[in-house]
Structures are given as C-alpha cells and as structure tokens.
Amino acid sequence: MIFLNGSQHHRRNNRKPLLLRRNHYSPAISGTLSPYNGLHSKLIGVCMSWTEIVIEVARTHAEALSDALFDAGALSVSVEDADFGTDAEQPLFGEPGMEPTEAAWERSRVVALTPVDADQTAIVAEAAKSIGLTATNLAFTLRSVDDQDWVRLTQSQFDPIHIGKNIWVVPSWHDAPDPQALVLELDPGLAFGTGSHPTTRLCMEWLEAHAPAGLKVLDYGCGSGILAMVAKKLGADKVIGIDIDPQAIQSAVFNTERNHCDVNYYLPDEFAASGHAHTFDVVVANILANPLKLMAPMLAGRVNPGGQLVLSGVLATQVDEVAAAYAPFIALTVWAEHEGWVALAGRSPITAPDGQ
C-alpha cells in the first residue's frame, strides 16, 4: 500500500526517485532506516557532518530544481510539503490509477544534503542556471546536520504501539510493555504494515474483536505479514498471506519466523498453483479503494458462505463507491473509522445471491 501524506520525494545515488513518508531521518550508516542509506560508502572517511540547503519553491519548479541540485553536487535531495502540519497541508495519495503527476506541492520545500565543506551558494547558483532561473530567485537557508549516533536516533523514533485492547507491536530494540499481551516483534521496514497506520490498526482491531479461532484466514495484500500473524496468534487454524510484491513476501516470511507463527505466503500465481483450498472463513484486504473495487469479484469469491470480508485502505469519502462494487456479492458496512480511514465488513450470504 502506498500512502504519501506530507511525504517526501527523495533522490539519491542516481537511483530513480523514491516516495517516502514525511519523517525526515538524518544521514546514517547502513543498517538504519535513513533515506540517506546508501550514501555511507561515499561519505565515510570524507566527513561525518553535513549541511542542508533548504529552498521553498512553487510546484512548477520543485522537481526540476530537485534534479538540478542533485546534478550540481548535492548528495541527496528531497521535496517536502512546505505547509506540512498546517491547515494548508496537502496529502498526496499514490493509489494505483490515481498517482500524482508529480511528487510536489503548491508550496514545496526542496532540501539538498551537501558536505559541510561544500560551496552551497555555488551549488544553488549552478542549479538555478540549469533550469533557467537566477540565484536571486532562489532564497535559501542552511541547516547544520551534525554527527551523532544515527542508529540510536532512528530507533528512538519507533516506540511500542498499543492496538485495541491487548495487542502490542514492539520493535526488536524495545521490551514488550506487557509480556502477557498479544505481542508482535516487528521492526519498521520496506513492506507496509507496522500498526502505525490507521488502516492497519483498524484491521487488527477487527480481528481482535472477532477472534478467528479455528478458522481459515486469508490476508490479501499481506505486506509485512502483520495481519496474518495477528490472526494466527488469535487462534486461526490456517492462515495464508498473498502479495504481488516479492519483497513483501520475503519480509512477511522473516517477520513470521521471528514471531514463531505458522503462516504460508504466496505471490498470486504461486497461490493459484499451490493446491490450497481457495476459499476462507475470513478474508482481510488492507489495500486501497481503486484496487479493492477492481478485485471485488475475486475477493468476494474467496469468502466461504457465511464467512466474513474485511476491507480497509478506504477513505471515509470512498465508502459508497467501494460498498457498491461489492454489493452484488456481499453487503458491506462501516465497522469503524479512524483518522478519516474506515474498515468495511460484511458477511457472505449462506446462499448465493440471485444470478450468482
């Protein structure tokens, strides 16, 4: 699932642009969760302090300036919403079929990381010239980024998360606040799903409120595997996770082994060839509204008669259109809402609807 709320468009080391969350981590040695990971080989032995160039520009110049600064010698460049944290903040949702045409905002803040001994004025001047502006058009400020223990700094931004009545998601560097609770050891990583996002939280709370003890559960769009693991720890008999991203499958397998859960994960084609029963007592899909609508016949068809379907990744403003897509198969209603996101749930009829 892609969610870009006050996010950054970040570029480094000649890779394609990345879309990252708003948290702006500092330069770090490999193994941490910094957007600057991968720079360490260039920086170690050169300097361990940096200077950021901060420029506020209109949307029309943000991406071009980002590229120009990178080409002028910046080590890393990101674009942020200059109105983040205010009423004027503009969330961008990178939903399939609804991707923003550019990762920029009406008032964008471009942040370029440079060595502390670089000539920042010259970098800005060169970048401005390359996109047809003059340096006087680009007022900028400088921010010092001093060396510190980046691993500890990164870890300090992730505390245990309490979800529902009795669920804790705990990074590996923390102790569980309540060892008797349902505890998942899970570090932030590349696959979506740590319990911090409202949609993940909503699905976990639904599973806790409707413990699937002895049931077969499908987590479609499993990401990190967090929902599949919760289902298993709540007593589910058989749990399957499916994702289209091989990296998500690898992450889910790793997390599941760490948490001593018995869950099988598949890419869609692998699952189709696996020989497993293709219907389940509970189907959970935390994706986004557009793909959920497209997959309505398939997901509804995975639910056993009398079984339950739970969907999230849906904004409150999208409820009617998603429910309408599933109406021929399962009547969905809003189970809960959190921070503008909802979880929809419904039970498959015991007998097939007319015409099915």
pLDDT in tens, 64-112: 999 999 999 999 899 988 888 787 777 665 554 455 566 677 889 999 9
Q: List the strands of the sheet with 8-12, edge to edge.
A: 18-20, 8-12, 76-81, 107-115, 50-58, 140-145
Domain boundary residue, one of 91, 126, 154: 154
Note whether residue 168 is domain-resident.
Answer: no
Say if 171 falls within a structural domain.
no
> Can you give the CATH number for the domain in which 276 is found?
3.40.50.150
Give the whole-angstrom CA distance, residue 350 versus residue 333. Answer: 18
Does 269 map to a domain? yes
Contact call for residues 124 and 140 (beta carbons, < 8 A): yes
Based on the domain organization, do 144 and 273 belong to the same domain? Answer: no
Number of structural domains (the chain) is 2
Amino acid at 315: L
Residue where one domain finishes, among candidates 154, 169, 201? 154
Q: Are residues 196 and 336 in the same domain?
A: yes
Q: At residue 273, does pLDDT exceed 60?
A: yes
136 and 196 together in one domain: no
My answer on whether 243 and 126 are in the same domain is no
**DSSP code per residue over 188-213:** --SSS-SS-SHHHHHHHHHHHHT--T
Residues spanned by the domain of 67: 8-154
Kindly state whether residues 242 and 317 are assigned to the same domain.
yes
Q: Are residues 222 and 297 in the same domain?
A: yes
Query: Does residue 37 register a pLDDT over 70?
Result: no
pLDDT one-digit tens code per residue, 107-142: 899 999 999 999 999 999 999 999 998 777 788 999
In-domain check, residue 179: no
2 assigned to some structural domain: no
CA distance 141 to 157: 26
The reply to whether 335 and 264 lie within a common domain is yes
Judge if 200 and 325 occupy the same domain. yes
* 94 and 239 belong to one structural domain: no
Domain assignment present for residue 241? The answer is yes
Average pLDDT value for residue range 223-232:
95
Q: Which residues contact residue 356 at a Cβ distance below 8 angstroms, ignoring those fewer than 6 apart?
A: 328, 329
pLDDT in tens, 174-192: 787 788 889 898 877 654 6
212 lies in the same domain as 113: no
CATH number of the domain residue 25 falls in:
3.30.70.120
Q: Is residue 174 part of a domain?
A: no
